[in-house]
Structure 1
Amino acid sequence: MTSAARSANDSARQAANSRPLKIAARGGILAYGITHLIIGGLALQVAFGQGGQQADQTGAFQALAQQPFGQVLLWLLAVGFVAAALWRAEQAVWGFSYESDRTKMIRKKVTSAVKAVIFVVLAVLAGRTASGGGGGGGQQQATAGVFGLPGGQWLVGLAGLVVLVVGVVKVYEGYKKKFLEDMSAPSDHRARMVLERVGQVGNIAKGVAIGLIGILLAVAAIQRRPDEATGLDAALKGLAAQPYGPYLLIAVAVGLVAYGVFCFFDARYHRV
């Protein structure tokens, strides 16, 4: 049994480290970047009062579905997300051997596990949109379900706090250029400088967007209103409704576009 388990483990690891999967994983990172480019564009429309679609992943996929060959592109994105999920799962189990700090290695493994789940969700959402299914309302329904549990209001509030902390950490890591730790950055000085600046702006904006979702969850918990916790779209539109909100939203939207561009660099230089 031990030998069989070891053999299965080695086979799984070999498959996860295969060149085709690694190439596909880079495609998944690229797909993630395309998604953020579209979300950034939708957020700009909201800032200028032209937002008719959701400024989140659902809205991005729906906008893509309306384009020529949109369904084909969505299925390609879904395949890329699946590959990225498998790669992140491999990283969570066997990855980061180059990291000498055990605590940092464990943290990165946990982060990879979370990102694997995110990519699975994106793959399902892209596939459902490509096949004509809806994708909205999931977070609101989930939040409403948690509110119905014993201590549900506290659980939603705690989730909001955790998400807010994740956003703050993302901002800090973006400012400190922590994203370079898992990349084989280009040796060319100009290319590296562009990568660093785009990475900083993009990761900080991504952190702000995550933090807004955390605040939204916390407010929903305090007011006991699950309908207020509807994700990125509600967070961005809520920001636009504040004094000087459209200007702040423009900054966040440009940052999300920058994050999308950063993903293009990441697809090329990430240690896969």
Structure 2
Amino acid sequence: MNASAMARTSGLEAKRAARGSVTEGAARAGLSARGAIYLVVGVLALQIAFGDTGKQADQGGAVDTLARQPLGAVLLWALGLGLAGMAVWRLSEAVFGSVGPDGRTARKRLLAAGRFVFYVVVAYSVLMFAAGPHGGGTGSSDQRSRDITARALDLPAGQWLVGAVGAGVAVAGVWIAVGAIRRSYHDELKRGEMSRWSRRLVDITGVGGGVARGLVFTAAGAFAVRAAVDYAPDRAKGMDDTLRSFAHTPLGPALLVCVAAGLVLFGLFSFAMARWRRV
């Protein structure tokens, strides 16, 4: 290999290393930000279960809670930048593929692209809130769900569209829960760097947190399907109303306590993934 070819090869390797370093940092910051949101939402849901119904257990409530803490502005900027990092990571997965034997498949790339769009929206809302006057968080997920459902229902074949999206969300919830029970996340971990104690901790938080998160998704999807069938946008629920609905089942507030505790576990699981996930 001549000197010119060696230089080009060396340059490409340096670019790959730099890209990998940036992507890894973005991924770990993003997973930490996701963990912070779920941790706070879980705590807020626990407070609702124990009678403090004035709380808002969703992203907006989490952002508003963080804004009220000491150094709240710093926390909000860190959260927003972390979520932006998550978007960068998901974009990288969509373009270059992700880890694992099927990381370059069209399905994985499409999922990564969808997550990229989602986290761009979430990061933008948090950063805009951090940059502006603090008032009511990033808005109620319940109101957004009702507004989006109402607009969608007015479209041609709107009922079918809302019903299909709701069914998709419900199926995704089942998939999340089943994946957690099967411990599918093991394939994404640097297990060789983990102690027996850390592996046990990840399994406790991963299974409990994943099942709770999947249950929330499944319930929210079911409410969207019901809104489509009844042509009633008010029946659609965001995360806050979905969580509150668990307290109105035959199990009462006890079920909400279990789900809320599970969301706290998922927050801790996200922190663990930020430490040990392969990127």
- TM-score, with structure 2 as normaliser: 0.86
Match of residue 135, structure 1, among 130, 134, 139 = 139
Say if 2:180 and 2:207, in contact at 8 Å, map to a contact too: yes
**Identity of paired residues, percent?**
38
The residue number in structure 1 matching 2:218 is 211
Residue 57 (structure 1) aligns with: 59
Q: Which residue of 1 aligns with 2:6?
A: none
After superposition, the C-alpha distances for 1:74-113 in whole angstroms (9 at most, x for unaligned) are: 11111111111011110122123541x47x8433323222
Matches within 5 A, 1:46-125: 46-96=48-98, 98-99=100-101, 101=102, 105-125=105-125
- Matches of 1:237 and 1:76, distance apart in 2: 29
2:208 matched residue in structure 1 = 201
Contact 1:160–1:214 under 8 Å retained in 2: yes
After TM superposition, give the deviation of residue 126 of structure 1 in Å: 1.3
Partner of 2:199: 192
- Is 1:156 the counterpart of 2:165 in the alignment? no
Equivalent residue for 1:240? 247
How big is the shift at 1:212?
A: 1.1
**Contact 2:216-2:242 at 8 Å conserved across structures:** yes
Q: Which runs of 5+ in 2 are unaligned?
A: 1-11
Q: 1:97 to 1:53 in 2, by over 3 A?
A: closer
Take 1:249 and 1:97, find their aligned partners in 2: how far apart are those partners?
35
Q: Report what 2:34 is aligned to.
A: 32
After superposition, the C-alpha distances for 1:108-148 in whole angstroms (9 at most, x for unaligned) are 32322222222212212212332236423322211111011
Q: Give distance in 2, aligned partners of 1:51 and 1:66.
A: 18
Consecutive unaligned residues of structure 1, counting only runs of 5 or more, are 1-9
Aligned CA distance change for structure 1 residues 129 and 15 (closer, same or farther; 3 Å): farther
Give the structure 1 partner of residue 180 of structure 2: 174
CA positional deviation for 1:222: 1.8
Measure, in 2, the Cα distance between the counterparts of 1:110 and 1:271.
Answer: 20
Q: Give CA-to-partner distance per residue, 1:54-73, whole Å, 9 cap, x none.
A: 21111111111122221221
Mapped to 2, the partners of 1:187 and 1:22 lie a distance apart of 18
- In the alignment, the residues of structure 2 paired with residue 173 and residue 84 of structure 1 have an alpha-carbon distance, to the nearest angstrom, of 21
Kept in 2: contact 1:40–1:257 (CA 8 A)? yes
Amino acid at match of 1:244: L
* Residue 262 of structure 1 pairs with residue 266 of structure 2: no
Shift in Å, 1:221: 1.3
Q: 1 CA distance for matches of 2:181 and 2:139?
A: 33
May I ask how many residue pairs the two structures share in their alignment? 260
Structure 1 letter corresponding to 2:257: I
Q: CA deviation at 1:16?
A: 7.8
1:65 and 1:129 in contact (8 A); partners too? no
Counterpart Cα distance in 2 of 1:121 and 1:78 = 11
Q: Over the residues paired in the alignment, what is the CA RMSD in angstroms?
A: 2.2
Larger Rg: 2
Q: TM-score, structure 1 length as denominator?
A: 0.88
The more displaced of 192-201 and 262-271 is 192-201
Q: Is the 8 A contact 2:144 2:238 kept in 1?
A: no
